[in-house]
Amino acid sequence: MSSTTLRTQQEQGKGVLFGYPISHSLAPYLHQTVFDSLNLSWSFSLLESRDMAQFLDLLKSPNCYGSAVTMPHKVAILSHLDELTSEGRDCGACNTILIRKDESGKRTYIGTNTDVVGIREAFYQNVDRPGEVFQGRPGMVIGGGGAARSAVYSLRRMMNCKPVYLVNRDKSEVDSVIEECKSKGFGQNLIHVETLAQAEKLAAPGAIVSCVPDYPPISKQEHQARNVLECMLGKKEKGVILEMCYHPSPWTEIGNLSEKAGWQVILGTEAMIYQGLEQDMLWTGKQLSELPVEKVKELIATKLAQARL
């Protein structure tokens, strides 16, 4: 999609990340680095709030170029938008709002989902020979929440992974993901892998997306899910795993297990960075090659290192 509102470099612009709690978010650093590098007089800040009316007022202000949305508002915001892109519609969640103006100045508010692009680009920007490593091979998603839905979309629609295995401690969450994905047209070839015996009979995945917090397994169901993961990691054919968890640290237990098993590990900061850069591309109309990708990566790495001190 083309840029929302094309503005002059001198014009002041304002955007926010709307969510709660978000005090740990690195989004302002990412976006401000991009805007500064493009010589845009734009700002990006956090709106840590549960007040939808407050956010909508800000969104409708004349100098707003667009905004980002995170939990717990990704679904609630949908009813306040004029249009949805296919990504926003099929994922059932919006994390990015674009503003398009017509010749009369009328504004149209469009919701999309750049999380799916972040996942896709985390793989394609970090994996040599993706056609051999994961395309056409099974994919796997660990988890059952909103991030898991985005991961299924990316693997099925954008990365040509089939089938896609779903691994999670809660069967009802997996059932919900499968049902929702089927209703949106990308629920084919989704397999809930519940037991170690089942996992042992399946072909190894080429791409795994882990969408769970960095906690050790405690319950019987959590240990069962971990056994399935370890079985997949232990198969002869290796692949790449994207560990979406990066707060408070991107170096997680699952990432460590994967690395020891011979898998390439992509840190969750990569998905966060590329979904943010996709937002900037949509807001500014620029291409990825025009954005300061390495500078953003260096900044995020520095901020995470400071947070660990």
Cβ 65 vs Cβ 14: under 8 Å: yes
Cβ 212 vs Cβ 237: under 8 Å: no
* Model pLDDT, residue 186: 84
Amino acid at 303: K
* Model pLDDT, residue 15: 96
Pairing of strands 66-69, 96-101: antiparallel
Q: What is the pLDDT of residues 93-144, one digit of tens each?
A: 899 999 998 888 899 999 999 999 999 999 999 999 999 999 999 999 999 8
CA distance 213 to 261: 20
| Arithmetic mean of pLDDT over the chain | 92
Examine the pLDDT at 6 and tell me if it is beyond 70. no
Q: What does each C-alpha distance from 5 to 40, 81, 245, 283 come to in angstroms? A: 13, 16, 33, 7
Mean pLDDT of 159-174: 94
Q: What residue ranges do the domains of the chain occupy?
A: 13-113, 117-269
Give the least confident one: 231-235, 260-264, 302-306: 302-306
Mean pLDDT of 21-34: 94
CA distance 27 to 45: 8
CA distance 95 to 112: 6
- Picking from 269, 276, 264, 148, the residue whose alpha carbon sits closest to that of residue 212 is 148
Confidence band, pLDDT 50/70/90 cuts, at residue 3: very low
* Model pLDDT, residue 53: 97
Indicate left, alpha or beta for 129 from its phi (over 0: left) and psi (-120 to 50: alpha): left
The secondary structure of residue 79, as a DSSP letter, is G
In the sheet where 240-243 sits, what is the strand order? 190-192, 164-167, 139-142, 207-210, 240-243, 264-267
Examine the pLDDT at 229 and tell me if it is beyond 50. yes
Confidence band, pLDDT 50/70/90 cuts, at residue 185: confident
Mean pLDDT of 48-67: 96
Examine the pLDDT at 8 and tell me if it is beyond 80. no
The domain defined by 117-269 carries CATH number 3.90.550.10: no
CA distance 219 to 216: 10
* Model pLDDT, residue 59: 96
Q: Do domains 13-113 and 117-269 have the same CATH topology?
A: yes
Homologous superfamily in CATH for domain 13-113: Leucine Dehydrogenase, chain A, domain 1 (3.40.50.10860)
Work out the number of other CB atoms within 10 angstroms of the CB of residue 128.
Answer: 7
3-state secondary structure of 11: coil
* Model pLDDT, residue 194: 95
